[in-house]
Amino acid sequence: MYAFFQRADYLAIKPEILVTMFALAILLFDFLLEKRDKWMNALVALIGLGFGAAQLTMFWSRLGEGAGYKGFGGAFTLDTFAVYAKLIIIIATGLVVLLSAKYLEVEGANFGEYYALLLFAAVGMMFLASGTDLIVLFIALELMALCEYVLTGFLRGSRRSNEAAVKFFLLGAFSSGLLLYGMSLLYGIAGSTNLAVISRRLAERPSPDPLSWVAMITLLAGIYFKVAAVPFHQWTPDAYEGAPTSITAFISVAPKVASFAFFIRILIEGLWPMRAEWQLLTIGVAVATMTLGNLAAITQTNIKRFFGYSTISHVGYLLLGFVAAADGNREGVTAIVIYLLVYAFMNLGAFGVIILMRRRDLIGDEIDDLSGLMTRAPGMAILMLIFLLSLAGIPPTAGFIGKYFIFLSLIETGHYTLAVLAVGYAVVALYYYFRIVVAMFMKKVPDTVPIAMGMGVRVALGVTLVMTLLIGIYPQPFIAMAREAVRPLFL
């Protein structure tokens, strides 16, 4: 008798199904719209994401104290961790949709496919957050990545956009190969693609085990590429610079959240018996990532490249959470989870301001284009200042909470040197983020054209601003949420 999937299995993927249906609907709906009505595609996308988010909040309250639901023969896990990650992904995608509507009009690339691809990417990411089977994880990862490649090259007339897409695609395909190689070795070791089974089999292996080391290193190399950790970061600045700015905002946030959720699943649920080995590897990669990200950001003049390197340095901080987690410290994973939430809001906020610089006659992606913003548009300058302070990790903002938990978990597990190094790099980060502040507040105004702001950008900036300040000033509910998210993880 065939063991078919249960009704409950399909109910568990209801948010994904809803978002997929809306993405397909946009593809067809787009044909009905006149050129000037294309903004309605964004509306449909938002409605779809809203349905997904509503379903997820229902799951969140229903999951309560339980360990979570395992569906599709253990390949799909719906627990508080997955729901938490999916909510951040949906919110981030929604904010990007809001930021995009006006920007695409200026770029003359206002096609329905843009929103459909965003939603398909979101579906891939949502499965990535829930997958507990190597095959589901790989397909979800590829769904996310393929949509990203196309979106990066979405400005068909622009050389930079096409170049970025091809670079991103070639390196991404290479990293997928590495990842798949690691997965195949793990399957060879365990005889199963299920993470729980892999974890059990790995625990049974004799102690010095070169085969599982190779599997772990190739698998992690693939993931390091996806999260842009040194030495697999080279695609980041190029892809960020060439992509449409709204997509730069998207790929710097949502795929990071999804990839880290994937990372947490692999390391905590799959490779937990090898924690001593991956801890060592993570320390090396995290230090290299923070060093290169922070130092390379200092000399950038293009603001999108600048944010590329800034993202790399944030990934370095996030990786430090795994170092603490490997010692069995639950706070390490909690720190990663909080940091991802905070990072999503502050980074999207900063990109919201950058997107506003784009006009028909100005690309607006050089740091000098922000010169004199304080006299031109004081509100924008102050918003940007708050987001930059948050990115640097200064106390009354959300960024501080994220960094605080990372440092705390490192100190609790006795990694004092790493904690000191991380704090030191926070100072470097403050220096380069303040280069933008200097440009905004102290340089002369090169042009005085007023900044046109669409409704979507207003809402997106409002949400990111409120969240950045709220998490910084009153973090307790968010910390409680993150603890709740980490609870079902086996640690």
Q: Which spans of this chain sit near another protein (rule: CB under 8 A)?
A: 2, 4, 24, 27-28, 31
Residue type, 124: G
Distance CA 64, CA 116 (A): 33
Q: How far is the CB of 30 from another protein (least distance, A)?
A: 9
Report which of 464, 485, 346, 484 is spatially closest to residue 403, judged by C-alpha positions: 346
Q: How far is the CB of 374 from another protein (least distance, A)?
A: 46
C-beta closer to another protein: residue 145 or 223: 145
Distance CA 247, CA 147 (A): 11
C-beta closer to another protein: residue 20 or 218: 20
C-beta closer to another protein: residue 24 or 470: 24
C-beta of residue 248 within 8 angstroms of C-beta of residue 145: no
Q: How far is the CB of 4 from another protein (least distance, A)?
A: 6
- Other residues' Cβ atoms within 10 Å of the Cβ of residue 388: 26
C-beta closer to another protein: residue 111 or 174: 111
C-beta closer to another protein: residue 37 or 447: 37
Q: How far is the CB of 245 from another protein (least distance, A)?
A: 25
Q: Which residues contact 64 (CB under 8 A, 6 or more apart)?
A: none
Q: How far is the CB of 197 from another protein (least distance, A)?
A: 23
Q: Which residues contact 118 (CB under 8 A, 6 or more apart)?
A: 45, 93, 96, 97, 100, 147, 151, 250
Q: How far is the CB of 189 from another protein (least distance, A)?
A: 15
Q: Where are the alpha helices (DSSP H) in 30-111?
A: 39-63, 80-107
Q: Which residues contact 417 (CB under 8 A, 6 or more apart)?
A: none
- Tokens 């691809």 locate to 117
C-beta of residue 217 within 8 angstroms of C-beta of residue 182: yes
Distance CA 317, CA 391 (A): 12
- The token pair that represents 316 in the structure block: 């370095």
C-beta closer to another protein: residue 52 or 352: 52
C-beta of residue 413 within 8 angstroms of C-beta of residue 484: no
- Can you tell me whether residue 234 is helix, strand or coil? coil
C-beta closer to another protein: residue 118 or 386: 118
Instruction: Specify burial of residue 129 (Cβ count, 10 A radius: 0-12, 13-18, 19+).
Output: buried
Distance CA 267, CA 166 (A): 30
Distance CA 59, CA 488 (A): 14
Q: How far is the CB of 281 from another protein (least distance, A)?
A: 24
Distance CA 454, CA 282 (A): 43
C-beta closer to another protein: residue 2 or 474: 2
- Can you tell me whether residue 394 is helix, strand or coil? coil
Q: How far is the CB of 20 from another protein (least distance, A)?
A: 8
Q: How far is the CB of 113 from another protein (least distance, A)?
A: 8
C-beta closer to another protein: residue 126 or 348: 126
- Tokens 């006006």 locate to 102
C-beta closer to another protein: residue 29 or 404: 29
Q: How far is the CB of 186 from another protein (least distance, A)?
A: 20
C-beta closer to another protein: residue 4 or 474: 4
Distance CA 229, CA 315 (A): 7
Helix or strand run (H / E) with residue 70: strand 69-71
Q: How far is the CB of 26 from another protein (least distance, A)?
A: 10
